[in-house]
Amino acid sequence: MELLTEPFSHAFMVRALVCGLAVGAVCASLGVFVVQRGLSFVGDGLAHAAFGGIALGLLLDVSVAHAMWVALPFTFCTALGIAWVLRSGRVHGDVATGVFFGVTFALGVLLLGFRSPDRAIVSVESILFGSILAIGQEELVVVLATASVVGLALAACWSRLAYATFDAELARASGVPVARLDYLLLGLTAVVVVVSVQTVGVVLVSSFIIIPAATAGLLARTLRGVTLVAIALGTAGAAVGLVASYHLDVASGATIILTLGAIFFVALLTRRAHG
């Protein structure tokens, strides 16, 4: 028991745990719909768009801690752009996401190059890979507030999102605003991605969205069951990965994702063993 409780005698670990649980739950919830709609690549695209937004904030001389407020509208607009291109029906989802992915990330690299050399040095590594252990009280409040708002929005639209996910044409014929739900889903994903970048970074945040939902799809049969299992896996993976990273003295974000990946492969092998 001491192995489990000793890390949380430190205030920074408690903040990291609360943050990880909130991010794990909300990312998993969104991931269920993202995966079911075949938009798994969107999380990665929006994460790289967030990098472009953060770079824009740094160019405007905003601190790394507050660059999120610049990245938020930037990534949100990118999400709406992806949704608009998808709605046009002229290109496939992975193509639309790939275009925005490349353009926004390249823009971020370009904007960082425009920063004056006399400004404070920025650790690009911390942006790419996150630093959940460095989460302060202010950032934690933002994460919890965001998770609460996104969770309430998903709960309010859950049945209509589920309907539109499984049969968009029938849902549209029944009066369900499928187009608005598409924009809402990608918009909420953009918000969560920007907030989650602080925990696991640009490179890994899409895994936080995809892996719990993909694993839950192997273990449950109904959408409600998949959602509940995904949330459980997302929060458990965050907690176990955080404790493991503390004792092993390794990167927390990467350890959390590797924990989720290990659970996925165990579930996959179990599923195959049972036919």
What are the pLDDT digits (tens) for 242-270? 999 999 999 888 899 999 999 999 999 98
Say how many CA atoms lie within 13 Å of 202 toward its Cβ: 23
Range of the domain at 6: 2-270
Query: Comparing C-alpha atoms, which of 12, 8, 19, 234 is closest to residue 145?
Result: 19
Residue 60 DSSP code: T
Neighbours of 109 (CB within 10 A): 12
* Assigned domain for 177 exists: yes
Q: Any idea what the Cα angle at residue 67 is, between residues 62 and 72, rounded to 5°? A: 140
* Assigned domain for 95 exists: yes
* Assigned domain for 207 exists: yes
Neighbours of 142 (CB within 10 A): 17
* Assigned domain for 214 exists: yes
Domain count, the chain: 1
For the cut 70, the answer to whether the pLDDT of residue 159 exceeds it is: yes
* Assigned domain for 52 exists: yes
Query: Comparing C-alpha atoms, which of 208, 153, 188 is closest to residue 27?
Result: 208
CATH of the domain at 109: 1.10.3470.10
- What integer pLDDT is reported at residue 113 of this predicted model? 84
- What integer pLDDT is reported at residue 148 of this predicted model? 94
Amino acid found at 100: F
pLDDT band of 68, cuts 50, 70, 90: confident
Amino acid found at 22: A
Q: What is the mean pLDDT of the chain?
A: 87
- What integer pLDDT is reported at residue 93 of this predicted model? 63
Residue 120 DSSP code: P
Between 116 and 251, name the one with better pLDDT.
251
* Assigned domain for 15 exists: yes
Q: What does pTM read for this prediction?
A: 0.88
For the record, the structure tokens of 225 come out as 């069951």
Start-to-end CA span in the chain (Å)? 37
* Assigned domain for 275 exists: no
* Assigned domain for 243 exists: yes
pLDDT band of 44, cuts 50, 70, 90: confident
d(CA 226, CA 101): 28
